[in-house]
Amino acid sequence: MLRRFMPYWELLRERWDGLSQNRRVAIVAVGLTAIFAVALLLLIQPPQQYAPLYSGLSADDAAAIIEQLRQQGIPYKLSNDGTTISVPADQVAKLRLALAAQGLPKSGTLGFELFDRSSFGVTDFQQRVNYQRALEGELARTISQLDGVRSARVHLVIPEQSLFTEQQQPTTAAVVLQVKPGSRLTDEQVRGVVHLVSAAVPGLQPEHVTVVDESGSALWSGGGVAAAGGMSDHLKAQRAFETAMATQLQTIVARVVGNNNAAVQVSASFDWDQRQVDSEIFSPNGTQPQVRSQQERVQTTEGTATGPIGVPGVDSNVDTYQEGAAGQHQQRSELRESTVNYELSRQVERVVQAPGKIQRLSVAVVLNSAAVDPAVAEHVRELVAAAAGIVPERGDQVTVSVVPFNTATAVEAVAGPALMDRVLEVARIGAMVLIPLLALLIAWRVLAAQRTPLPPVPRYDVATDVLPGPAAAAGLGGSAVGLPGQAEAALKPPSGPPPTLRELQELAKKDPATVAHVVRAWLNEE
């Protein structure tokens, strides 16, 4: 069997000996490149994608699930302090079914399936407790399906019914929400959770529901959204004003120093108290009172009076004073009375001061020292003060600082591992595509430089070990012209029988240089 492939091996060796040194190096490089490409494809594997199998597990359930995964030889990852187990994404569904068949996890949220199995001898108290547990579990399941909520826990306090209404204790509820990373619940979502719980529990009012997040911050307290979790209307208005003002100032400053060379932050303090002032002002602005009505009355009396004369007093009544004779005298009296009514000047003013008056405004501007001249800072400060309406008497202030900017961002730091995974994946795909193409290109260049095709391999009879006549004539004809000595006589097709393979092998052993020259002439021949 090996003797059948001997001619191929001999021809390959002769072809290799006929190649130049550069072509041999090129062929070896192509082979090594192909081997390297195969090894690279075998060694470099795409990163395994993991997906959460279960989250929010207890320590006992997490330990039991990990033991099952180890027995099955399945890789896993732990996160969130061991409460979340992640496995390869393509095995999540299969593993959940397999673990569910084994009753894992055991501490999951239970709903009304608590009543699927009825047992005798259950007291009324146990029935009420089971009903409360089922109601809490169903509410937790429903809330966990909301967008942005990872998990939820609901605690209900349902007091016993009292015979007297004034002694009846209200039903209360507490909801703990675990928000997904990067998510934030809006005020509308918090109100939706509160109304969902209050509508599902008999006798529960929204003001008796408390909602907190995993950090303990109150999202709903009493009758409205708590300031810790959701912003009040006043705080929203303040944030909107600060954002709008900062955006306007940022646009103005960017036209002076260029984009990405300035940062503007605005802080405003508002007076949200509503005031109503009523005032009455008489004779405003020093106006003289106006006469409304005037009445004057004059009474005059004239006549003759009869009586004693003399000077009234003590002197005329003593004995030494001469008494005058009685006689008549003239008498006149006048009575004048005047009444003037004035129209009083009166100004009534009612001032209602709307809430939201700016008490104090502070603006901070940071300029990039690498692109902004420090001399421009004063011009920027004046520009910002005029655009923001700064009032120094009110306590407003503007601060402009010129410092070097840090171009590194937190997003780049977070995206670093993911970017490295993408780079490795692109490199792997590039290796799969470019390396075989490079190997083919090198091989094509080598074969294109070697223009002469391979000669036909002579076939011979194993029994006689003699080359057939047509093959010998086709392979040896005309190529040995000009060859000297015994090689020329042996290689020329004689008129008799063709030479045998043994004769050619003996000739090659005796004169290998001549045989190699003949074979090279065959390869270079059209």
* pLDDT single digits (tens) 477-507: 444 444 444 444 445 555 555 666 777 777 7
Contact 193/145 with Cβ under 8 angstroms? no
Q: Using DSSP, how many helices (H) and how many strands (E) does the chain show?
A: 13, 15
Taking 50 as the pLDDT cut, the residues of the chain under it are 227-230, 409-411, 413-414, 451-490, 526
Q: How far apart are CA 470 and CA 172, in angstroms?
A: 108
Q: Residue 444: its pLDDT value, please?
A: 66
Question: What is the value of pTM for the model shown?
Answer: 0.36
In angstroms, rounded to a whole number, what is the distance separating the alpha carbons of residues 129 and 137?
12
Return the number of other C-beta atoms located less than 10 Å from residue 517's C-beta.
Answer: 15
Residues β-bridged to residue 478 = none
Instruction: Identify the pLDDT of residue 104.
Output: 78
Nearest C-alpha neighbor of 267 from the set 172, 362, 148? 362
The SS3 call for residue 208 is: strand
Helix (H) or strand (E) holding 395: none
* Other beta carbons less than 10 A from residue 467's beta carbon: 22
* C-alpha closest to that of 488 among 478, 498, 473: 478
Quote the pLDDT of residue 53: 86
Q: For residue 332, what pLDDT is reported? A: 77
Q: Look at residue 176 in the predicted model and tell me its pLDDT.
A: 92
| SS3 label, residue 173 | strand
> What pLDDT was estimated at residue 475?
43
Handedness of CA 122, 125, 130, 135 (dihedral sign): positive
pLDDT per position as a tens digit, 420-446: 767 777 776 776 677 767 776 776 666
Pair of tokens at residue 199? 């509508």
